[in-house]
Amino acid sequence: MVPPYVPTEVPNDSRVDTFARDRLPAPQLLPEFRFDLPELQFPARINCATELLDRRVALGQGGRRCITGADGKTWTYADVQAQANRIAQVLVDELGLIPGNRVLLRGANSPMLAACFLAVFKCGGIAVGSMPLLRAKELTQIATKAQVSIALCDARLTDELFAALPACPTLKAVLHFNADAAAASSSTSASTPASSSSLEARAALKSGHFDNVDTAADDTCLIAFTSGTTGQPKGTRHFHRDLLAACACWPPHVLRAQPDDVFIGSPPLAFTFGLGGLLLFPLSIGASTVLLEKVGPDALLPAIAKHRATVCFTAPTSYRAMAASAALHDLSSLRKCVSAGEALPAATRLLWRQASGIEMIDGIGSTEMLHIFISADEAHAKPGATGLPVPGYTACVLDDGGQPLPPGQVGRLAVKGPTGCKYLDDPRQATYVQDGWNLTGDAYLVDADGQFVYQARTDDMIISGGYNIAGPEVESALLLHPAVAECGVVGWPDEERGQIVRAFVVLKPGHDGGAALAQTLQDWVKQQIAPYKYPRAIDFVAELPRTETGKLQRFRLRSAP
């Protein structure tokens, strides 16, 4: 029996902010943490920035390439360490940061944003990422819930942050960075401070020497807010040991990248998929990463060719869009492609393999769990299946009573491992964690080979005429049709059947929506899967509502007219 989690005792020191620790969920609401691998036996005191960055320099590898920015400039590990140290000095010496303070980080992916994350970790602070497209109202919600005291913001994104300031009483200091890029694009707001007060200008005056704070392994270093697929983002906290555990589980056992690999991708660092895939994982093995500000499919393909990237992280939607023009770019350097963020349709897996010759590595993770916990490498990839529990994690499928289901039966995905849900002041903790299990909100079944097969989000299962229908299965069938570019499927209220399957379809250029094509698509689905699953209503739309990370917002489809 694994003993219950007992938080490390906090020193009786007025220079430590205990906000995050004071708001940990009650012990009975915390998941069971498991540390089954030797590499998960972390010491009681550890700072993730020391392990990920400083140790690499101490080993004499400071000259290795670490981060390449959109401008093509490369930062070595020693460069990143020096800049992170200088930013840490600014935070502590000028802004008065003490361990446990929350720092809002706002910006598109860039070397400076990465250095800011690492600097906050070094200080013992808590990084609070925010997506670049968030508006003042959303920033206010994040800043007030996390009681942020300092913000580091890209100079091109200050308008919404300054608009939020009056409603954020705890936010006392704002510094901006990337001011030169803002000046070049003439996008700096009149309210943005002059570049002389930029973070880079202040950091340039510092020595570049900083002694990392001696943090406990279970001190919070990150509060990541969920991406809002339900419309109600939640603050998920992660310890220093959580970030290191994520690096010790999926990457070495499934991804198996090498120190000479060049990582690239689309997810923002504010999204844990991006923070892990584009910063933590490459640093953990001494590899390098390319951080792009514009990462749509049209920009990602030429960037892969330009930077000779070898490992790509992006969402299924992006792979599907890139497949159409993959042949126009030199992708010969690319050897691994990771898909996560939403379910990977079998049709998209096939399309990308045909376009690139690469079998995708699929996986499911969650902001609550930090990163991927079920996955399959290229050799074990199976169309339609997500994979097996990642070493370090255990998973099963439970019925509504909390009992394990046999293979082939659909139930609730339950996971345990070294990471787990620790919401910040949110009653939904009692829903996500039950009997020590993290219930991710996904409906799964286990097939005859032991692989976990995604069905739907548990609140997205469609019950029509007594049948249980998984929306993603219908989406996968529609995506096989040559006229369909994208689609989203939801349950729609119906007096006779309870619900019907309603599909929202984005067509490829050259196809016109209408009754004839709708009938064609309905007949097509009946040929691909059980006929009762076909969409009884089809809407042709110009685009689908998605989060900034590319996830489909089905709750918005369900509120469509």
Instruction: Determine contact, residues 187/160, Cβ cutoff 8 Å.
Output: no
Separation of alpha carbons 48 and 244, rounded Å? 6
Tell me the C-alpha to C-alpha distance, in Å, between residue 257 and each of 7, 253, 307, 384.
Answer: 34, 10, 17, 24
Separation of alpha carbons 229 and 181, rounded Å? 32
> Among 252, 240, 238, 239, which Cα is nearest to 284's?
252
Instruction: Determine contact, residues 168/102, Cβ cutoff 8 Å.
Output: no
Tell me the C-alpha to C-alpha distance, in Å, between residue 392 and each of 47, 183, 245, 379, 454.
Answer: 21, 47, 9, 20, 21
pLDDT at 555: 84
Separation of alpha carbons 388 and 326, rounded Å? 29
Instruction: Determine contact, residues 174/163, Cβ cutoff 8 Å.
Output: no
Q: Give the count of beta carbons closer than 10 Å to the beta carbon of residue 545.
A: 17
Where do the H-state alpha helices sit in 59-110?
77-89
Instruction: Determine contact, residues 264/290, Cβ cutoff 8 Å.
Output: yes
Separation of alpha carbons 543 and 439, rounded Å? 31
pLDDT at 500: 93
pLDDT at 5: 74
For the chain, 561 residues long, the average pLDDT of each consecutive 10-residue run is 68 83 95 96 97 98 97 96 98 96 97 98 97 87 95 95 94 91 54 59 96 97 78 85 98 98 95 96 98 91 97 92 94 96 86 96 95 96 94 96 94 97 95 96 93 84 78 90 94 85 95 94 91 94 86 86 82
pLDDT at 193: 37
pLDDT at 229: 46
pLDDT at 466: 67
pLDDT at 144: 95
Residue 483, both tokens? 């006229």
Tell me the C-alpha to C-alpha distance, in Å, between residue 415 and each of 5, 430, 540.
Answer: 16, 15, 37
